[in-house]
Amino acid sequence: MLEKTLKRLLTVSIITLIIVAFIGVVISVKREKTEEEISFGGQAGNIVDVVGTRIGTTTTAVSFSNNSATTTYPILLGREYDTAIFNIKAKTFETGGGNNAHFSILASNDFNCDTASTTTTMDNVVVKSDINWFDAGRHLMNLAGSKTLDSGTSTIVWIPLAAGDGTVLGLENLNYNCLALQTTASGTAMWIQLERKNLAR
């Protein structure tokens, strides 16, 4: 009888230790993920490629010519972030003038606004035309340098002066699920990243 009781006690103790160890591992992984994903004020932000890519030391830009079309780049911001900074770089520059870039920034709280499909499927996937985008220009931080705001609109005009020129567009006091950067440009290839931060913490 005593032997059975000891075996049961040992079994229960081992199972309890396994459960406690498992819970400890889960909490540790969750904490590491949270610390890695959420950037606080004064620290480097969480970086997302928006236009083009940067992998290691290789940067791939996207070419724009003749302001021929406006492209919309939706980005998941996440409600845990209240500040967004677009880092913009002109990788190439055409001589002869006509180099310019125009940006508008939109916001949405819709679900799946960063992954909306362009076509309707049998699964009833959210399509881009379903998303309720609205102007987020009122959240722009101070414009400076070669950037101007078109009169009566929230379109930012930037004139790069040479290959390698860069600029920054910052937004603050955000409370949205997604942002979208609308871009049209001429005479340049650009690479743009978004830096997400939470300055309220």
The answer to whether 151 touches 42, Cβ cutoff 8 Å, is no
User: Rounded to an integer, what distance in angstroms lies between the CA atom of residue 50 and that of residue 150?
Assistant: 23
User: Rounded to an integer, what distance in angstroms lies between the CA atom of residue 143 and that of residue 150?
Assistant: 12
Residue 92 token pair: 């190439």
pTM tops 0.75: no
Q: For residue 122, is pLDDT > 80? A: no
Distance set, CA 89 to CA 4, 157, 163 (Å): 73, 14, 8
Q: What is the pLDDT of residue 44?
A: 60
The answer to whether 82 touches 174, Cβ cutoff 8 Å, is yes
Torsion (CA) 105, 110, 114, 115 in degrees, nearest 10? -150
Q: What is the pLDDT of residue 32?
A: 47
pLDDT digits (tens, 9 = 90+) for 7-43: 787 787 888 888 888 887 777 765 544 444 444 444 4
pLDDT digits (tens, 9 = 90+) for 161-180: 888 888 888 888 888 888 98
| 3-class DSSP assignment, residue 24 | helix
Mean pLDDT of 44-52: 81
Q: Which residues of 79-105 are buried (b: 16+ CB within 10 A; e: fewer)?
A: eebbbbbbbbbbbeeeeeeebbbbbbb
Closest residue by Cα to residue 189 from 79, 119, 105, 90: 90
Q: What is the pLDDT of residue 34?
A: 45
Residue 44 token pair: 């480097």
